Chain A
Amino acid sequence: MDAILKVQRVEKYYGSRSSLTKAIDQLSFEVQKGEFVAIMGASGSGKTTLLNVISTIDRVTSGHIYVGEQDITKLKGNALNRFRREELGFIFQDFNLLDTLTAYENIALALSIQNVSVKEIDKKIQEVSKELDITSILGKYPYQLSGGEKQRVASARAIVTNPKIILADEPTGALDSRAARMLLEKFQYLDKMGVTILMVTHDAFTASYARRVIFIKDGKVFKEIHKGNDTRKEFFNQIIDVVTLLGGDLNDAL
């Protein structure tokens, strides 16, 4: 399998010379095409910073990040924006839907900024909304939707552009457990369809839906576990074991 995302010895420092904070310290890992990977870590472990540098919202201090063949740490200006809108899909904890637009228009916006034709836009939205089961709510505004529905709309927006990789930042953070389960099942479905997902979370339950979990502590990879052929529950227990090993750092994991 090809590695769709290669993170090579990435470092990210914050602050000035006198008070330097290493948010990410010589971090390396790879994500294969079609994989569903979760990154776990406590607050301050550097997981959000990692997601930010992968999503090109923030720049690395040193190291390289490859998406496909492209080194995205070298991109600048509009090339960066183009990369972001064509190769990446985002799902945020707080949905980030535009409240003045309907669900349909929110999804369409991701396509229209790529100058996709109206016909194509409609076709793609119909397809993706069937997959995510949101066809009936396309005409509604975000304030009329539940958290779970909002997150599924946001997911639809993320995958409708056929990105190389989907980056999800605490996608279940603002959802109740039922909605979270429904969303994660959709993620698993997308995973089966061959979509690559990189999800950042501090919730063991959420992480247990992934096929691989990478634990980060103090900006470094602490441990990596694979689901393999285990059931989700078994995988969940494995995750909890690692969390226990991490000590109190991840005490809000459940």
Chain B
Amino acid sequence: MMLCKLSFKNIRKSLRDYTIYFFTLILGISIFYVFNALDSQTVMMNVSSSTQDLIKLMMNMLSGVSVFVSFILGFLIIYASSFLIKRRNKEFGIYLTLGMSKRKISFILFYETLFIGILSLVVGLLLGVILSFFMSLVVADMFEADLTKFTFVFSSSACLKTILYFSIMYFIVMIFNTISVSRCQLIDLFHSAKKTEEIKLKNPYLCILVFILASLVLGKAYHMVTVEFLTLQEVTDILKPILMGAVSTFFIFWSLSGLILRIAMSIQKFYYKGLNSFTLRQFSSKINTTVFSTTIICLMLFITICLLSACLTMKNSMNANIRKLAPADAMFTANMNLDQYYEKYRDYGYNDSQIKNSHYTAKEMFELFDFDITTYFKDYIEVNTYATPDLTMNHTLGSKLDSIRTQFPFLAYDTMEPIMKISDYNQVARFYGNPEYSLRSNEYMIVADFKSIVKIRNVALKNREVIHLFGYTLQPKYDSCQDGFLEMSSQHINTGILLVPDSIVDEGYLVQNHLIGNYKTTNKEEIMKIENHINQLDQDSKTKAYLLPSGSTKLAIKEATTGLSAMVTFIGLYLGVIFLISSAAILGLKELSESSDNKERFKMLRKIGTDEKMIHQALFRQIAIFFLLPLILAFIHSIFGILFVFKFLEVFGNEELISSVITTAIFLILIYGGYFFITYLCSKRIIREN
């Protein structure tokens, strides 16, 4: 009972000093709950079955991410608690001299962890339930679900999961605590406070050298992910610049820790002004020992910034893309004349009769399956695409092929280029509301919207490469690719379609027939019924002999996009928030303990007559430097990180880049800045004399 009381009092004491840590714990628990309870919110919503599937997929992803998150939070908790225990050496020393056994001290810690665990779980879950109420509004908005059916939901499974995960974490903390108590020596406990760290100034020349080297390596890493972007082909290729970046980050902080003081000391007017010498000395005496954690925090901030802005951009662009890139209700494509390339399609897994029976247009094929397009479609168009082995990228790139090939060795140069009659394309463009084009009889042009391919193709077009097709020689009309597409999709994925004059096309090279149309109805449920019907055709036994046209519909694209963008947003938010609060909490915790270590020093400053204002200023600066240093480098990293990510996500388009970067910045300032401010206020209270 005595032990219980002791630990209870200890908690009350540390609750006041380390509010920021408990606050983070509670926040972590509630966020964990919110994201694991997402599905229970969507259950109540009226959404299609494919959306349900997407939500299920999203939940699986989120629970995978949750494991990762629990590792991060677990690391935070273990780090923080072992950190807090180290600060209580003297207290344990007193217990031990009073004759308390180490086992009992372990029990005190056990009770403490238990109390903190229960307390944080209860408060965190309560907060989580409240937060998930607001979250469900966001979810409903995202899936465009009916809000009238919305009710307040409590997810018991998420609750149990949270309790289970955090119990495991607390249990591990208990084990760690017991180990650290059983290891401690009485003499060390009493002397730990008095140990003065030896202050060693680093060799400035070595620092400069290391700084320059690290900057060069970092610059190279930046270069690799941006300018040399297209040479990164394998997933493992990206590991190299990341590793280089991480290592050079460490060494930049290492050298800076020595250099900042040196530089400041050489500017005597600055150094011997007010408490500047004190602040700088404080800073450099600590950064020597915190280089590693500063590096970790810098990298975590970097990941957060990139993750958030990438996810937000993806989400914003995807939503914008649907409007633009899926302008018609449905599009069906029938592969035709497969027997021209019998071997190839054989390898694709088509059977003989399917290949033999591939001379029907999409509409004819549907009729074969007793499905009449005209019953459901208000208006529709039918267009063809052609292809020939005589026209691949090898040919369209012309004389530029070799130089491009050495630069981008992994492009599919041997794939046949899709060819369309200009009149067919204009029909599509009219239907989609895209610009139409005209060609003279000796001209060709390329429409494409996949940016990195466009760039490559433009090299050849600028060089005015001539193509030879069906016995004709064609000049490019434009010296760059024009915007446009045939296939509806959620992204910019048109790698290029060659438009040629109608008169030159040889019908023998017909490979695909497309049917694009709009439904008679605009009612979502009726559309779903039609599309279900089409999907059901797949069960028909005729599919053994005939290939059903493949289709993509606006609704399906939209649902897939919504699901994907929701998934991306939630995962981004989830990880972003957890990373941010964990790193800010570690920093805050370090600074708070720093402040209580500095209590004596500030007392000394007061004794020699320093103004309170000056002391607060020094404290503010000290904390600000520690918070800003990793943020500044993380910010620089992020510029290149974001550039890289957006190149990577080019297919999604990045028109919304600025707005998502701004959103990320606001997010960062609110959370990180909030932690900074709270740390400052708490520190001020700690150093205040009673």
Contacts and interface: CB of A to CB of B under 8 A. Distances in A.
A109 B278 contact: yes
A112 B277 contact: yes
A85 B608 contact: yes
Nearest to A112: B272
Interface of B: 196, 198-199, 268-269, 272-278, 281-282, 285, 601, 604-614
Given A100-B281, A113-B614, A86 B274 contact: no
A57 B689 CA distance: 11
Contacts of A82: 609, 611
A137 B598 CA distance: 25
A55 to B, nearest CB: 8
A141 interface: yes
Nearest to B282: A100
Given A81-B610, A85-B609, A88-B609, A101 B281 contact: yes
Given A81-B612, A85-B609, A143-B198, A113 B272 contact: no
The 7 A-B pairs with the shortest beta carbon distances in the complex, nearest first, are A85-B609, A84-B609, A100-B281, A118-B268, A100-B285, A143-B196, A112-B272
7 contacts: A55-B607, A81-B609, A90-B608, A98-B278, A98-B601, A100-B278, A112-B277
A96 B601 CA distance: 8
- Between A86, A88, A108, A112, the greatest number of chain B beta carbons within 10 A of the residue's beta carbon is seen for A112
A78 B611 contact: yes
A81 B611 contact: yes
Given A57-B607, A110-B608, A118-B269, 18 more contacts: A78-B612, A81-B611, A81-B612, A90-B608, A92-B607, A98-B604, A98-B605, A99-B196, A100-B281, A100-B282, A108-B272, A109-B277, A112-B272, A112-B276, A113-B608, A118-B272, A142-B196, A143-B199
A155 to B, nearest CB: 13
Contact of B281 (A83, A96, A105): A105
Nearest to B600: A96
A97 B613 CA distance: 21
A231 interface: no
B277 A115 contact: no
A57 B275 CA distance: 20
A121 interface: yes
B13 to A, nearest CB: 24
Contacts of B606: 81
Interface in A42-81: 55, 57, 78, 81
A101 B608 CA distance: 15
A220 B277 CA distance: 43
Interface of A: 55, 57, 78, 81-86, 88, 90, 92, 96-101, 105, 108-113, 115, 118, 121, 141-143, 157
Nearest to B607: A90
- Between B269, B282, B604, the greatest number of chain A beta carbons within 10 A of the residue's beta carbon is seen for B604
A140 B606 CA distance: 23
A226 B275 CA distance: 42
Contacts of A108: 272, 277
Contact of A115 (B268, B274, B278, B281): B274
B608 A86 contact: no
Contact of A109 (B196, B268, B608): B608
Contact of A96 (B268, B604, B611, B614): B604
A43 B454 CA distance: 89
Nearest to B277: A105
Contacts of A112: 272-277
A182 B422 CA distance: 104
Contacts of B601: 98, 100
A109 B281 CA distance: 12
A96 B609 contact: no
B612 A109 contact: no
Contacts of A101: 277-278, 281
A86 B198 CA distance: 32
Contacts of B605: 98, 109, 113
- Between A55, A83, A105, the greatest number of chain B beta carbons within 10 A of the residue's beta carbon is seen for A105
Contacts of A81: 606, 609-612
A86 B608 CA distance: 9
B605 to A, nearest CB: 8
A82 B273 CA distance: 16
B652 to A, nearest CB: 51
Contacts of A88: 609
B275 A96 contact: no
Nearest to B196: A143
A96 B277 contact: no
A104 B609 CA distance: 18
Nearest to A92: B607
Given A105-B277, A143-B198, A121 B608 contact: no
B317 to A, nearest CB: 51
Contacts of B609: 81-86, 88, 113
- Between A83, A99, A157, the greatest number of chain B beta carbons within 10 A of the residue's beta carbon is seen for A99
Contacts of A55: 607
A157 B196 contact: no
Nearest to A77: B612
A113 B604 contact: no
A81 to B, nearest CB: 5
A180 B273 CA distance: 33
Contacts of A115: 273-274
Contacts of B196: 99, 142-143
Contacts of A97: 604
A113 B612 CA distance: 11
Given A98-B604, A157-B608, A141 B199 contact: yes
A114 to B, nearest CB: 8
A101 B284 CA distance: 11
Nearest to A85: B609
Nearest to A157: B608
A157 B609 CA distance: 12
A219 B471 CA distance: 119
A121 B607 contact: no
A60 to B, nearest CB: 18
A142 B274 CA distance: 21
Contacts of A118: 268-269, 272
B192 to A, nearest CB: 15
A104 B274 CA distance: 15
A92 to B, nearest CB: 8
Nearest to B273: A112
A141 B605 CA distance: 17
B272 A121 contact: yes
- Between A86, A109, A111, A157, the greatest number of chain B beta carbons within 10 A of the residue's beta carbon is seen for A109
A86 B610 CA distance: 10
Contacts of A98: 278, 281, 601, 604-605
Contacts of A113: 274-275, 605, 608-611, 614
A153 to B, nearest CB: 13
Contacts of A86: 609
Contacts of B610: 81, 85, 113
Nearest to B285: A100
Contacts of A110: 608
A182 to B, nearest CB: 23
Nearest to B601: A98
Contacts of A121: 272
A96 B604 CA distance: 6
A144 to B, nearest CB: 9
A143 B194 CA distance: 11
Contacts of B278: 98, 100-101, 109
A109 B275 contact: yes
B447 to A, nearest CB: 67
A4 to B, nearest CB: 18
A128 to B, nearest CB: 15
A84 B608 contact: yes
Contacts of A105: 277, 281
A165 to B, nearest CB: 13
A98 B275 CA distance: 12
A100 to B, nearest CB: 4
Contacts of B608: 84-85, 90, 109-110, 113, 157
